[in-house]
Amino acid sequence: MTDQPDILPPAPPPSKRLGSWMSMAMVIGTMIGSGIYLLPTTLAPYGPNLVIAFLITIGGTMCLAVAFAKLSAKIPGGPFAYVQQAFGETSAFLTLWSYLISQWTGVAAVAVAVAGAMGHVVPGAASGTGLTIVGLGSIAILTLINLTGARSAGWVQLAATLIKVIPLFAVVLLVAARFGSGTPVEPLQNVPVTLGGIAAAAALMLFSLTGFEAATVTANVTEDASHTVPRATILGTGFTGIIYLTATVATLMLLPSVLAEKSSAPFADAIAPIMGSTAGIIVAVIAAISAFGTCNALLLLSAEVGQSIAGANDLPALFRKTNAAGVPVGSLLVGAVVAAILVLASTSESFVSVYVFIALISTVASLVLYAVCSAAALKLGATGRWAGITVIALIYSLAMFVGAGLEATLWGVALALVGLPIRWLSRRFSSTGPSPAMADAPAAPRE
């Protein structure tokens, strides 16, 4: 390990921290975004291949979750501290700067998804001025909530998570009822199981399981983080993986695959037999709430990441300024403003294709965190007898770049390098070192 001390941001008051259930909701609520509601449509053509692909993807993600959980149990301070101890400050900056970009663009993407979902209820919200108002309004409301403290954001996350799993459980219960009554279910698409089919299905679901690191990134604002965060990371990831698999397969057992492939709202179509025409409205509202909750989590994550980077003087001091509730106000507001600008830009017709590509790049940026933290866990010996699982996690995270494609990966690398001049300027014009609370923070345990 390096002899450099960890740079830990000051923790908020106990009354403003995330509790154990809130920490788990951060994981589940960040992973379950608006994308799950279209997975049955995109995966329907792959038939039984999707089940194998899901098992592989869930297994790889669980390996990553174990690596992150073990790191969080041994080293305080979150991902910046892990990478800084393993590979130095420059590597920590590049890794977390990449992740920060992914959070900023993610906030914009899910804010637009809120408007898109609401468009099924209020058509004017899906495009033009209506989309802009709903997207910007979502960011503004959630920014105000986050300004009052992490615990306030935690309550929003807990409520949104409980709501967003309703249609996922509903389709599973419907299938169980069919089995119980002896009513036949729809078969999966009759296609052969092939490596190509498994790989293609895995690529489609690859990014739907990102977000498991949410508890780790918010460790500094979590009560009893050394115990709460590892448990929330592993249990939250496992729960999400299982509900994704069962809900997707259940939907395809209720809807014929030929219909599911063309459905723009497969969960609504699957639930329609018991809820009638209101099913679409109900699922659309839940999808909007789901995206709203994910936006809430990403705003909190971006604020914490920005503060952790600024703690090493790698971003302007504005990013580490906190209010009485321990909220990094500057970091939160910068993230909200960047996301708002992206929302405005995304409403431009000429920007749409570019914006979709930026969303893919933001995913690549988060993959950097997974790969580097897995390597850090191995170098620091944080996983002990779980080292084999960590090796699998590293291999899996590197393989995920293949699914993203070479072009997006190269753009992700380029955006990471753009952070270097920002870091140089921040250090060049900084008149102080890390804040006293950060500089005096205890170093992580050494083995």
What would the pLDDT profile of 264-278 be if each residue is shown by its tens digit? 678 888 887 777 777
CA distance 309 to 268: 42
What torsion do the CA atoms of 339, 342, 343, 346 make, to the nearest 10 degrees?
Answer: -160
Both tokens assigned to 279: 């099913």
List the end-to-end C-alpha distance of the chain, in Å, as a whole number: 9
Would the pTM count as exceeding 0.75?
yes
Asked if 298 and 30 count as a contact pair (C-beta separation under 8 A), the reply is: yes
pLDDT the model gives residue 269: 80
pLDDT the model gives residue 441: 38
pLDDT the model gives residue 8: 61
- The one-digit pLDDT tens for each residue of the chain (447 residues) are 334 444 566 777 777 888 889 999 999 988 887 667 778 888 888 989 999 999 988 998 899 999 998 888 888 878 888 999 999 989 999 999 989 988 888 888 888 888 877 877 787 776 778 888 888 999 999 999 999 998 999 999 999 999 988 888 888 888 888 888 878 888 888 899 988 888 888 877 776 788 888 888 888 888 888 889 899 999 999 999 999 999 999 888 888 888 888 876 788 888 877 777 777 788 888 888 888 998 999 999 999 999 989 888 899 989 988 888 889 999 999 999 999 988 887 666 544 455 456 566 677 778 889 999 999 999 988 878 888 899 998 998 888 777 667 777 787 788 888 889 989 988 888 755 554 444 333 333 333
Chain centroid to CA 417: how far?
23
pLDDT the model gives residue 30: 86
| DSSP assignment string, 140-162 | HHHHHHHHT-HHHHHHHHHHHHH
Q: Which residues contact 447 (CB under 8 A, 6 or more apart)?
A: 1, 380, 381
CATH code of the region 18-439: 1.20.1740.10
Write the CA distances from 256 to 17, 41, 179, 272, integer angstroms.
46, 11, 16, 14
How does pLDDT run across 185-195, given as a tens digit for each residue?
A: 888 888 999 88
Q: By CB neighbour count within 10 A (0-12 exposed, 13-18 middle, 19+ buried), where does 440 fall?
A: exposed
CA distance 112 to 340: 10
CB 385: neighbour CB atoms within 10 A?
A: 6
Q: Which amino acid is at 306?
A: G
What torsion do the CA atoms of 121, 163, 30, 78 make, to the nearest 10 degrees?
Answer: 150
CA distance 237 to 265: 25
Domain positions in the chain: 18-439
